[in-house]
Chains A and B, each alone.
Chain A
Amino acid sequence: QAGLTQPPSVSKGLRQTATLTCTGNSNNVGDQGAAWLQQHQGHPPKHLSYRNNNRPSGISDRFSASRSGNTASLTITGLQPEDEADYYCSAWDSSLSAWVFGGGTKLTVL
């Protein structure tokens, strides 16, 4: 199953801004966008944004999602220690009629 491409790791300093990327193709990210999920070690994932880039209620506005062509991005401003987690993107692939995930990016807050 074709997946989405995410960098394995990103490191940024406290209170800095991190931008995580997710690259797919015209059948998935380029078609309907990508959702973003955050997962802390040992916990279930949590949605940070939906495919339309809207945030679920309760999600900080420090998290913002966007898309350009076949690449989706998640920008996290004012990095906090609790932002250290794994981040996954997910998109519906119209050619597979299936959801596909990225491999995940481990964000380290220095």
Chain B
Amino acid sequence: QVQLQQWGAGLLKPSETLSLTCAVYGGSFSGYYWTWIRQPPGKGLEWIGEVNHSGSTNYNPSLKSRVTISVDTSKNQFSLKLSSVTATDTAVYYCGGGGYWGQGTLVTVSS
């Protein structure tokens, strides 16, 4: 049974960098693409990007200039960085992969 545990800062000021990490427990870390999605309050899901165990990435074209997703295979972890955040980046951020999802982290951007 795969479990994902995520963590990171929940309150940011405009122009700061969002940073979240997700640890994967159980299952095969090398078997999937590991994904970040987000959900603004009261809205739908938005795909941010993904990374595989070798570091190959794909990003949402609308966020690509601000997003970096990286992987640390020694710890079975992957991370999200989103630079120059604004209020529109306020959302619950979820990590996932292989059909499994983390618990979500509410990130609020406010001055």
> Is there contact, CB below 8 Å, between A44 and B47?
no
Interface of A toward B, CB cutoff 8 Å: 1, 37, 39, 44-47, 50, 56, 86, 88, 90, 96-104
> Is there contact, CB below 8 Å, between A44 and B44?
no
Note all chain A residues with C-beta closer than 8 A to B104: 44
Q: How far is the CA of A1 from the CA of B46 in the complex (A)?
A: 10
Which of B45, B50, B101 contacts A88, CB < 8 Å?
Answer: B45
Pick from A37, A45, A86 the residue with the most CB of B within 10 Å: A45
B82-104 Cβ-contact flags toward A at 8 Å (1 or 0): 00000000000010100101111
Which of A56, A98, A99, A104 contacts B44, CB < 8 Å?
Answer: A104
Q: How far is the CA of A56 from the CA of B101 in the complex (A)?
A: 13
The reply to whether the CB of B62 lies closer than 8 angstroms to some CB of chain A is yes
Number of inter-chain CB pairs below 8 Å? 46
Note all chain B residues with C-beta closer than 8 A to A47: 99
Quote the shortest CB–CB distance from B35 to chain A (angstroms): 8
Given contacts A45-B94, A97-B58, A98-B60, contact A56 B47 (CB under 8 A): no
Given contacts A45-B94, A101-B45, contact A1 B61 (CB under 8 A): yes
> 9 more A-B contacts (CB under 8 A) besides A90-B47, A99-B50, A101-B37?
A44-B96, A45-B37, A46-B101, A47-B99, A88-B45, A98-B60, A99-B47, A99-B58, A100-B47
